[in-house]
Amino acid sequence: MMITWMFGAAILLPVLSGLFLLLRRGKIQNRRLKCVGIFLVMALTALLAVGLICSPDYELTVWRLTDTISLTFRLDGLARLFMGMTVAAWTLGGVFAFEYMKHEENEDRYFGFYLIVLGVLLALDQAGNLVTLYLCFEMMTLTSLPLVLHNMSHEAVMAGLKYLFYSIGGAFTALFGIFYLFANGLTGSFTPGGYLSAGTVSYTGTTGMTLFVLLLIIVGFGTKAGMFPMHGWLPTAHPVAPAPASAVLSGVITKAGVLAVVRVVFYMVGADFLRGTWVQYTWLTLALITVFMGSMMAYKEQLLKKRLAYSSVSQVSYIMFGLATLTVDGFVGGLAHFIFHSVIKDCLFLCAGAIIYNTHRTRVDELRGIGKEMPVTMWCFTIVSLGLVGIPPFSGFVSKWYLAVGSLGSGTGVFTWLGPVVLLLSALLTAGYLLILSIQAFFPGADFDYADVKKHEVNALMTVPMILYAAATLLLGMFPGTLIGFIQNIASAVL
Amino acid sequence: MNSACLALAIALPIVGGALMPLLRLPDKKRNLLIEILVLATSALAFACVLRRPETNFVLFHLTGNMTFSLRLDGLGSVFTCLIAALWPLATLYAFEYMRHEERTTSFFACYTMTYGVTLGIAMSEDLVTMYLFYELLTLVSVYLVMHPMTRKALRASRTYLYYSIGGAAFAFIGLVFLILYGTTTNFVLGGVLDMEKVGGNVQLILLVYVLAFLGFGVKAAIFPFSGWLPKASVAPTPVTALLHAVAVVKSGAFALMRLTYYSFGTDFLRGTWAHFAVMSIAMISVIYGSTMAVKETHFKRRLAYSTISNLSYVIMGVTMMSPAGLLAAMCHMVVHAVMKIGAFFCSGAVLHQSGIEYIDELNGLGRRMPFTFGTFVIFSCSLAGIPLFGGFISKWCIAMAAVETAREIPYAYAVVGVLLYAALMTAIYVFTVVVRAFFPDRGSVTPHPEVTDPNWEMCLPLAVFAVATLVLGLHSGPLLDVLQSIANGGF
Amino acid sequence: MNFVQNFPCFSIVLCMVAGIISTPLKGKGAKRVTLFIVSLVALLSFVTLLYILFTGTGFTYTMGRFPAPWGNELRAGLLESLLATVFSLVVLCSLLGGMDLIFTDIAEDKVNLYFILVDLLLSSLLAILYTNDLFTAYVFVEINTISTCGLIMIRESGRSLIAATRYMIMSLIGSGLFLISIAMLYGVTGNLLMEYIHVEILELAASGQYQVPLLVIISFCTVGLAIKSGLYPFHSWMPDAYGYATISSSAILSSLVSKSYIFLLIKIFYCVIGFDLIVQSKIVNVLFVFGLVGMIMGSVSAIMAKEIYRMIAYSSVAQIGYIYMGIGLATEAGMVAAVFHILTHAVTKSLLFLSAKGLNEASGRKRVYPALQGAAFRNPLAGAAFLIGSLSMVGIPTLAGFISKLLFATAAIDGSQRKMLPTLIVLEVSTILNTIYFLHTVVRIYTPVGAPEEYKDVRIHPTPGRIGALVALILMNFGLGLFSQPITDLIRAGIEMFA
């Protein structure tokens, strides 16, 4: 009973306060009060979420749409992992935004939707069956749209629409699969290990068709994760959003696609069903293409935020690759990379935001010597970049290690070695497109004129989140045991 | 209940509407009278549905075995309820909308008569009677299209007329064949074809079915006979909303259900080339409608194209040729009626309040008319098939029916694909409106700063439809139960 | 012999007598006499119909003292008396409906002539219906032609004279062919009375003699009557003739005259040649094809027509196509449909012409479409009548046209497979075309005009006769549409009486 209340509160509190903010937008004059209020809401939500995370597993059916379609939420390891990441990223991003949004208009709308998306994401993380998952997925798309097109320039609106249509298109593609699975008997809630491999339900679909719809689901939900061939929206949409929004979009919302794929593949169908089929190979191929292509594009890109967005394209497909190996190690590596990449990419975008906020510079080549102006920001930037490249002792190394191990042990023929090679190549490219920035920032070269460079760092509201992220990158890299152990528990249940 | 009540429910609005111009009342009194008339009819219709007369009511005998007779069965009840629920609200909306127009009395006379005729379609016992009301529907509603009396409206009304009557002409072939090859022309779930008489003429009958399908399909705006619908959107919004999103076009879809499930019979049709043909037609219409809607920038015409695609959702349900398909078709018929009439009313409210017709002029209007566009968001989500809204449930049903049929006929998977393609297109064409209304490009000016939400007569129907869309989405269990039992022949 | 059996002869003679009486009378007097006689004829025909229904058999009536196989005979069956009743009613309605115009359109000293011609026409119509020998038929066909010409040209406007000339030429060609065929028949069989010819022909057919002459006879007779009845492509006289005659003439001509020839043709098919022989001769296929083409071409011409009368006239071309198509199906059901359509067309076309006149009056006597805009508001009764006539022609249920269409379609499906699809498709296409031109006009007349002042002076006071005629025709339309069963039964029984 208590759980029900907590669950309801965790979702409704941010949604309702977000709505309240939207309705009263522009009417609250005292900004400080407003920010405190928003912070309280986020903190309270975080507390509730933590409370939920610490509570035992549960499954709640909150509503029945029809006799067969119910809205069910369930808490399990995976949900805990995602919820934890979500509230952490949201709180930090929110704090950063208190300062950052000063230079944008319509901040009430921003925070309103920001809070609503938080609630929706918490619901998404706990979605207990296919329909609920789909519902939350669509809701997430719709409510996060205002974050993307926030500044309402023509470019932003168009990017927002692109985001919307790609996401919805992807969701509909996945919906085909959901229709098929559901109509053929997969109506239950998510179960570790899935139904089909275990043969626990009477399933009427044919194997060929099931595999086909699984591919649709992977590609469909993979849209959100920016997986090739449906990645086009991501480099357009993420950069135009305000920086804190880009951070959570890249760090958390793209991962919703990952979550959905995991739920379907590992919790509905079962990994064994997929193992060794053409769908697995297609999935691996798509993931690797995305990994490589994303890095290449990022390397070429000159706009900082866009470069980061391409980097996200590449990195999220690391996760996809790990999952696609269908091995315990790959799974662990994938989910670990999910956490690590979220942390790192959040931080990177916040750094980029801080730079834009402070200096209005958006292009990479304008950043020479900026390390002298904003040392804290650039130090954080450097640390997390190292993490992303995968240099020990930073966190990225751990996940990439597991990914490589998983790939090597997956028995997928050419992919066993091709995977690690591509990952390695991509890591090199990552170094190429991120570390070069740090180098230029701190070592602008002999011809750089230090005269008019003054140190003017952003204030604590912005630096603290970045520092926390950077610290997390380091700590998670040095002491990954707990997290890896937790993920391994999940993995052993589903594989 | 006495079966004469059926005739009364039909006659009340027809006679009342016909007499209205003779009374020469002032506008206010006339409106009151019409609303009372419509409400009374609705009450009577609901009463008929709740305490269904067991017997039929014969209006008159035509030739030996052809009678004009009325009877209410399950499918008819669904349509009756739908019409009876929507009409009073739409009339209310029309009062406000038409306030500044000319010739309102004759407009309302026809509007009310159309109600009776549509009820007639719902309550027809046999194909002949339905054909009669079907033709009458064209005739009474054509005046409503030409009502603005502009050249465009006149041309649209003629197009409408030609398409509709032409369609009926082909439906007529089906009618004649059923008279000759059927045991009766009455509607019986499972079909009435007399297989002995059919004998070796199976191919011929299938051809006739397709012809009749196309014929009745004209009103349901199937491709390539959909040209009249976008044109007809020159009519006043209450007409476009109620008639061209619900009454007229749903009559077409309803007729197709009757034709497929109650006349020719699904057992006869399933798996034949005719089955594939009609399924393909429906799919092409969906694709055509939804794609054209994306291209169209005129608000009402976009919704009209959307109607084309959505009607063919219903028809896709019909062409699944299974109880689940019929269930899905009925479900979408109901849901689409509610959400599309709502969406049209939104566009009408915009037109009425600000005179804006084109979507690219809507910049920022969402702020000025928050209520109207708030409800429009709900209808949009429902149209796009977002869960929690009505549209999702019906699409779900269609997809379930399609997958079920696809086990025997894999072609039906294409239906699911088309459904999702159309859903994407729908998302594009509705959400661009929403985005434009609420998130105008920076720098674009909101052209009408003084525009506000309309008064209660227009807002009330919007609110009711929005709530209904949500309720259908959130709590569709009872509705689906009823539809299920109808589809299984329980009623 | 029962007294009633005299009635067919009486009706014919009465009409002629009325013509003779009218000669010295003024217009008004002639009008009264004519109206009285026409009503009387309607009554007599109806009584005959009832009598035949009651007794269950038809009868023949010998005119003069020459018994068969010589002399002239009338034959009254169900069909004949039914058509006679409807025809006289339609004449009555048409006259009443256009009465005021007869007096304004026609020079005063010729009004009584007009009525004489009408009397003559009716007598010839009745005679063509009732006749049982070919020679009488021919004589009255000629009388019919002459009186028709008179009715067309009596208005004495330039175009009506041209129209009358055209009609005369066409008609005479038709009559000529018909005459040749009668002469040949007489030559081959030595008889003029239908039954006797029939018997002879059956023998000839059985023996295989005179095959070519028989074929020539059949084709001449068919083509001759087809020309006279205006089957496409022999329709060119129609639009002018109907469009420029005074309205009663148009109504009578379009509704009845061509139909009487068609009926004569049907009668010859059944009673003279024998239906089986006709079917063997394949002449029906020719009629079928021309019927179909006529349906389409008539409608297409009607769509292109620029004024309302011509449109209605061209529509007649299409409707005659329907009838020939029904005959061409060569089944009893097709024949029933054809005869039913004769009735439908008779009551609808006269209604359309009369109402079109009303609309025309309400639009400053302009006949082009743009002028007709909003006419239905200026003359509501004519508008409603035109609407109903149009709907009937389009085939809306509860109206006569729907039943015709239904009968044609059922006949087509029941008949030969080869003719089924063409029939159905042409039927539907023609429905669409009908929709286009009729309902286009309906939309036009129900479209309010922008500047109502233009027609402020237009005051329409329809005469009681006009109102009565329109209402009666509307009712007949509904009657045929709603209570078609007894009538189709009657027609079927009538056709069986022929055989």
Which chains are adjacent to chain B, needing at least 3 Cβ pairs under 8 Å? A, C
Band of residue A410 on the pLDDT scale cut at 50, 70, 90: confident
Report the chain C residue with the minimal C-alpha distance to residue B132: C397
Sign, CA dihedral C424-C427-C430-C431, equals: negative
pLDDT in tens, C168-180: 888 899 999 999 9
Long-range contacts of A158-164 (CB under 8 A, 24+ apart): A159/A233, A159/A236, A159/A237, A159/A240, A160/A237, A160/A240, A160/B435, A160/B439, A161/B428, A161/B431, A161/B432, A161/B435, A162/A232, A162/A233, A162/A236, A162/A237, A163/A233, A163/A236, A163/A237, A164/B427, A164/B431, A164/B435
Cβ pair C428:B162 closer than 8 A: no
pLDDT of A81 reads: 92
Q: Give the helix, strand, coil percentages of chain C, each rounded to 5.
A: 80, 5, 15
Give residue C499's pLDDT.
Answer: 66
Using a 10 angstrom Cβ sphere, with 0-12 exposed, 13-18 middle and 19 or more buried, the burial of residue C480 is: buried
Reported confidence tier of residue A87, pLDDT bands at 50, 70, 90: very high
Measured between CB atoms, which of A145, A152, A183 is closest to B441? A152
Nearest CA to B381 among B474, B253, B285?
B474
Q: What is the pLDDT of residue C482?
A: 85
> Number of helices and strands (H, E) in chain A?
21, 2
Helix (H, G, I), strand (E, B) or coil at B54: coil
Domain containing A402: what range? 286-495
* Residues A309-319 pLDDT 10s: 999 999 999 99
Note whether B touches C: 3 CB pairs or more under 8 A: yes
Question: Residues 398-427, chain B: which have Cβ within 8 Å of A?
Answer: 399-400, 402-404, 407, 413, 416-417, 420-421, 423-424, 427
Bridge partners (DSSP) of residue C73 are C62
Q: How far apart (Å, rounded) are the C-alpha atoms in residues C10 and C17?
A: 10
Residue A58 lies in a domain: no
Q: Are B134 and B35 in contact (CB under 8 A)?
A: no
Mutate to test the interface with A, among B430, B441, B482 (most CBs of A within 10 A): B441
Q: Using one digit for the tens of pLDDT, what is the confidence trace for C71-109? A: 788 888 888 888 999 999 999 988 888 888 888 888 888
Amino acid sitting at position A434:
L
CA distance A321 to A167: 21
DSSP per residue over B97-164, as a string? HGGG-S-HHHHHHHHHHHHHHHHHHHHBSBHHHHHHHHHHHHHHHHHHHHTT-SHHHHHHHHHHHHHH
Read off the pLDDT of each residue in A473-481 and give the average, rounded to a whole number: 89
d(CA B108, CA A146): 43
A397 found inside a domain? yes
Per-residue pLDDT reduced to its tens digit, B83-131: 998 888 888 888 888 887 778 888 888 888 999 999 999 988 888 888 8
pLDDT at C68 over 80: no
Q: Which residue has the tokens 């009369």?
A: C354
Q: Are A264 and A221 in contact (CB under 8 A)?
A: yes
Instruction: Tell me if ipTM is over 0.90.
Output: no
**8 A C-beta contact, residue B42 and residue B88:** yes
At C335-384, the pLDDT tens digits run 999 999 999 998 998 899 888 888 888 877 777 777 888 888 888 888 88
pLDDT higher than threshold 70 for residue A344: yes
pLDDT of residue C450: 67
> Could you give the CA distance from residue C235 to residue C302 in angstroms, rounded to a whole number?
12
Mean pLDDT of A443-452: 77
Interval B333-371: pLDDT, tens: 999 999 998 998 898 888 888 888 888 888 888 888 889
Residue A419 lies in a domain: yes
Q: What is the pLDDT of residues C191-239, one digit of tens each?
A: 888 888 888 888 888 888 788 888 888 889 999 998 888 888 888 888 8
Do B387 and A135 touch, CB atoms closer than 8 A? Answer: yes
Which of C41, C50, C39 is closest to C78 using CA atoms?
C50
User: How far apart are the C-alpha atoms of A399 and A397, rounded to whole Å?
Assistant: 6
pLDDT tens, position by position, C389-402: 998 988 888 888 88
Task: Answer yes or no: is pLDDT of A82 > 90.
Answer: yes
Is residue A217 assigned to a domain? no
Under 8 Å CB pairs connecting chains A and B tally to 101
pLDDT-derived band at C457 (thresholds 50, 70, 90) equals low
SS3 C81: helix
Query: 3-class SS at A303?
Result: strand
Of C409, C427, C482, the CB nearest to B62: C482
Rounded to a whole number of angstroms, the distance from the CA of B142 to the nearest CA of chain C is 9
| pLDDT of amino acid A150 | 86
Subunits with at least 3 CB pairs below 8 A relative to chain C?
B
Which A residues, 39 through 98, put their C-beta within 8 Å of a C-beta on chain B?
A: 63-67, 69
Q: Does A142 touch chain B (CB under 8 A)?
A: yes
Chain A CB contacts of B432 under 8 Å are 161
Interface of A with B in 113-132 (CB under 8 A): 131
Query: Is B207's pLDDT higher than 80?
Result: yes
- Rounded-to-integer distance, Cα B111 and Cα B29, Å: 17
Instruction: Provide the β-strand partners of residue A64.
Output: A70
DSSP letter for C133, please: B
Distance (Å, whole) CA B121 – CA B216:
12
User: Cα C334 to chain center, whole Å?
Assistant: 18
Neighbours of C172 (CB within 10 A): 16
- Element of type H or E holding B232: none
CA distances from B321 to B281, B393, C369 (A): 14, 19, 48
Looking up tokens 């549409």, which residue turns up?
C481
Alpha helices in B187-298 (DSSP H): 195-198, 202-217, 228-231, 237-242, 248-257, 266-269, 273-295
Predicted confidence at residue C159, as pLDDT, reads 78
Q: What percent of chain B is modeled with pLDDT above 90?
A: 20
DSSP annotation string for C178-238? HHHHHHHHHHHHS--BHHHHHHHHHHHHHHT-SHHHHHHHHHHHHHHHHHHTT-TTS-THH
In angstroms, the CA A148 to CA A129 distance is 28
Please report whether residue A379 resides in a domain. yes
CA distance C164 to C146: 10
Q: What is the mean pLDDT of chain C?
A: 86
How far is A240 from A236, CA to CA, in rounded Å? 7
Closest partner residue to A169 (CB to CB) among B402, B404, B424 is B424
- pLDDT tier at B447, thresholds 50, 70, 90: low
Contact indicator for B427, B51 with CB cutoff of 8 Å: no
- Euclidean distance between CA atoms B233 and B426, whole angstroms: 19
Instruction: Give residues with Cβ within 8 angstroms of A411, minimum separation 6.
Output: none
Give buried/exposed letters for B357-386 (b at 16+ CB in 10 A, else e). bebebbbbbbebbebbbbbbbbbbbbbbbb
> What percent of chain C is modeled with pLDDT above 70?
97
C414 contacts: CB under 8 Å, gap ≥ 6: B180, C331, C333
Give B-chain residues touching C415 at CB under 8 angstroms: none
Q: Does a structural domain hold residue A216?
A: no
Split at pLDDT 50, 70, 90, the class of A320 is very high
- A367 falls within a domain: yes
What is the average pLDDT score of chain A?
A: 89
DSSP-based helix, strand, coil % in chain A, nearest 5: 75, 5, 20
Q: What percent of chain A has pLDDT over 90?
A: 39
Number of domain units in chain A: 1
- Please tell me the predicted confidence (pLDDT) of residue B288: 93
The closest of B99, B19, B153, B166 to C446, measured between CA atoms, is: B153
For β-strands B66-70 and C59-63, DSSP reports them as unpaired
Helix, coil or strand: residue A363: strand
Q: Which is higher by pLDDT, B100 or A433? A: A433
Residues of B whose CB is below 8 A from C398: 68, 132
**Alpha-carbon distance C163 to C241, whole Å?**
5
Q: Give the pLDDT score at C452.
A: 61
pLDDT at B49: 87
Domain boundaries, chain C: 282-499
- Rounded CA-CA distance A151/A241 in Å is 7
Residues B172 and C346: their CA atoms lie apart, in Å, by 24
What percentage of chain B's residues is helix, strand, coil (to nearest 5)?
Answer: 75, 5, 20
Residue B61's alpha-carbon distances to B64, B69, B176, C339, in angstroms, are 7, 8, 17, 21
Q: Which of A15, A107, A3, A94 is nearest to A49 (CA)?
A: A3
Mean pLDDT computed over A380-385: 92
Residue B406: pLDDT band with limits 50, 70, 90: confident
Tally of CB atoms within 10 A around B227: 16
Q: Which of B403, B439, B480 is opposite residue A184, by nearest beta carbon?
A: B403
Residues of C in contact with B135 (CB under 8 A): 396-397
* CA A49 to the chain's CA centroid: 18
Cβ under 8 Å to C: B residues 380-419: none
Does a structural domain hold residue A383? yes
- Check pLDDT > 90 for residue A260: yes
Q: Phi and psi (nearest 5°) for A239?
A: -65, -30
Distance of CA C306 to the CA centre of its chain: 24
> Min CA distance, C176 vs chain B (Å)?
40
From CA A362, how far away is CA C146, in angstroms rounded? 100
Distance CA C270, CA C261 (A): 14
Quick: pLDDT tens for A26-51. Answer: 777 888 888 899 999 999 999 999 99
